[in-house]
Amino acid sequence: MRVSSPTTLLLGVILLCVATALTGVWMATSPAWLGAAFEGKPGGAIVITALTPDGPLDRAGAKVGERLAGVAMVGDGPAAALHIDEIGGLNAPDTQAASDEQHRRQGLFAKALEARPLVLRLAGPDGVQRAVTLDGRTRPLTQLGAEFWANLMFGLVAALIVGWVWALRPRDLATQLFALTGLSMLAFTFGWAVHASVELVQDQATAMTVAWLNMAGAVAYGGAMIAFFLAYPKRVTRLPVMLLAPICVLLWALTPLLPGNPARETTGQAATSIEMALIIVAIAIQAFASRKDPAAMAATRWLGLSVVIGAGAFIGNVAVPIALGRAPFLDPRFSLGFFVIIYVGMAVGLRRHKLFQLDQWAFRILFYLGAGAALLVLDGLLIAALGTSAQTALGVSLLIVAFVYLPFRDVLWRLTIGRRTMKDHEMFAAVADVALIHGVEARGQAWKALLAKVYEPLEVTPGSPTQAAVEILEEGVGLGLPAAAGTTALTLRFPFRGRGLFGTAQVQLAEQLVGLLAQIEEGRDAYARGVVEERLRIARDLHDDVGARLLSGLHRQDLNQTREAMRGAIGDLRSIVSGLSGHDLPLEAVLADLRHETAERLEAAGLTLDWPPVELADPDVTAPYRVYKNLTSAVREVVSNAIRHAGAATVAVTVHEADGRLELTLSDDGVGLPREPGGRRSGLANLERRLGEIGGAVEIPDTERGTVIRLSAPIRASAEA
């Protein structure tokens, strides 16, 4: 059989809702509009309790407190009078026979109210009667009352929700039963709304139809809801559960045949109370059947909670008190709004849209409702048992809820939903341990072991190569993780040993673990790169400086030159060792060592050093390793050139430090640098390279005699550069 498209089916549902709304408005506005509120008094008297401003009775001069005595009917024959005792009272009768008779009498009175012109007989407190003539205006929509519009809207919202779900999956038994509950609710909310719009009486056919829709819809709703929980999420019986709703309605319709001929209105309230208990039983059966299926268990929790909150609140507030002959606890006029909660929750659950979140929200709502219920129960018990005032009872109840229930709720939350198998600090320490494991294979195994400990999944399998972020899979059964710790992407299934689903809390935790792991691995890799770079730099310094000096001294015949090379190599070793210590050296100490070394070298070569005392702007300034190593090497090279090639007698050094930069000017009184290409000036490339590495510069100003070389370098920011 071909099924229409979801759009067509949903359009049909919308048209049904529009037709229902129009029918309800027509039925509510058709009776004669009196423009007053009435109240039945003992003995059958009906008194005006309120008048609508500018309404028919208000215009006719009626007054609040007057009694309705009857209707004067005007026709072709002699005038006749229909007395108020023909109504048969406004209270609900005890037997079905009395109910039918009441509908018949009220129908006669409603027929009389259709007379045009309509003449009512009113009686004042003194018993004197008078006749008032009412105009024949149609009742405005604004005068139908909030109860009519609210209850009609409740049913229409439910019908639209179930229509949307059913249109998407029209052949599915669960959505069919879901749609049946919505249609049943539309029936009883429609009956309630039309009945609520009645000012005094309705004609017999309309009144009986409205009453029948109201109670039959309520009974059918209970039967359909029982059938729904026997079929979804898991089918727990092979019986034709679709027949439960009509069977329940049939049994209710036959109740007047019982001894005592009970009225259907009374038995209907009792039937819905019994059905509510059976709905809870069906939910329990479904929970037992779904205990090994995390997704089904989450659906049962959410849907069961929705029904218990919505229908339970209505039954407890309206049906049970009426069945026991008591007044409802809260204003029952808008109690059907509780059912909207059911349909919002059930619609989301049936579509299974992010159902893994609903599982947690179900517990959250349950816990908070428990706190509210505990507060009300304790408050009532303290007032009733101890005779305390309402204020004192409320204060004691708040203390008990705060110090007893809320801690218990937190413990229960951790045991059911929180499911933290490790404390936060233990978890993050474990992530750090995983990230710092050296071998890739060992690190991957440790990562899997950590995930197994945190989530307790029944399965850990390789995931999709395209998995780029943490993602919930299979409606909460699985959790996809991106590649991390040297492993491929992973998929975890059936968390917490198969007793739960992955939710938003688990996703957030996984994102934190993956992100923290990536950060620690990045820091580890950066550290490893720094170690390698430092080793390469030390090796280069040893090769370029110490090795070169030792090799040069080894092949020199002159003992003084050999000693000079040895002293230079020792100085380079001292700089390298200082750098390995990891501490910056005071600039004053660096300059003092360099001055002492330079003086020894020049003295051994027969030259004089002119290096006046240094006055630093900041005596506490320090020099990082790269700065003093390259700067020292540059000074040594300049001094070496002066000893070997300048033919000078004196070398002068001046030092200037300011604004984070150090400037050393070295000059000699020798022959100066040659001007021809390829001369000694081309040998300054190595000097410029050393200073360039630390952001420094080399200047060689022109002089009439000798050579002047100015070295400058930053001693703060350049070190970290």
Category of 419 on φ-ψ map: left (φ > 0), alpha (ψ -120 to 50) or beta: left
Contacts of 100 (CB under 8 A, 6+ apart): none
**CB-based contact 335:317 (threshold 8 Å):** yes
Residue 501 amino acid letter: L
3-state secondary structure of 434: helix
Residue 162: C-alpha distances to residues 330, 342, 383, 557 (Å): 28, 11, 43, 105
> Closest by alpha carbon to 706, among 669, 673, 654?
669
The whole-angstrom separation of Cα 282 and Cα 292 is 17
The ranges assigned to domains in the chain are 1-31+143-352, 34-138, 424-527, 582-720
The CATH H-level (homologous superfamily) assignment of domain 34-138 is PDZ domain (2.30.42.10)
Pairwise CA distance, residues 124 & 117, whole Å: 22
Query: Which residue, 444, 440, 491, 484, is CA-closest to 464?
Result: 491
Cβ atoms within 10 A of the Cβ of 389, count? Answer: 11
**How far, in Å, CA of 476 to CA of 356, rounded?**
5
622-623 vs 585-586, strand pairing mode: antiparallel
Task: Reply yes or no on domain 582-720 having CATH 3.30.565.10.
Answer: yes
The identity of residue 642, as a single letter, is A
- Was domain 1-31+143-352 assigned CATH 1.20.1440? no
Residue 600 neighbours by CB distance under 10 Å: 15
* Residue count (the chain): 721
Distance CA 343, CA 267 (A): 26
CB 118: neighbour CB atoms within 10 A?
Answer: 22
Cα-based distances in Å from 446 to 435, 468, 667: 9, 21, 64
Picking from 145, 225, 150, 222, the residue whose alpha carbon sits closest to that of residue 190 is 150
Give the contacts of 125 (CB within 8 A, at least 6 positions apart): 65
Q: How many helices (H) and strands (E) does the chain have?
A: 24, 17
- Averages of pLDDT over runs of 10 residues in the chain (721 residues) are 71 92 93 87 80 92 88 48 45 79 82 85 87 89 90 92 84 89 94 90 88 93 93 88 91 88 85 88 91 79 80 73 69 77 72 48 57 61 59 65 63 56 75 82 87 85 87 82 86 78 80 87 79 75 66 66 71 67 74 84 84 81 79 83 83 86 88 60 69 86 86 66 40
pLDDT given for residue 679 in this prediction: 47
Q: Which residue has the tokens 């004053």?
A: 588
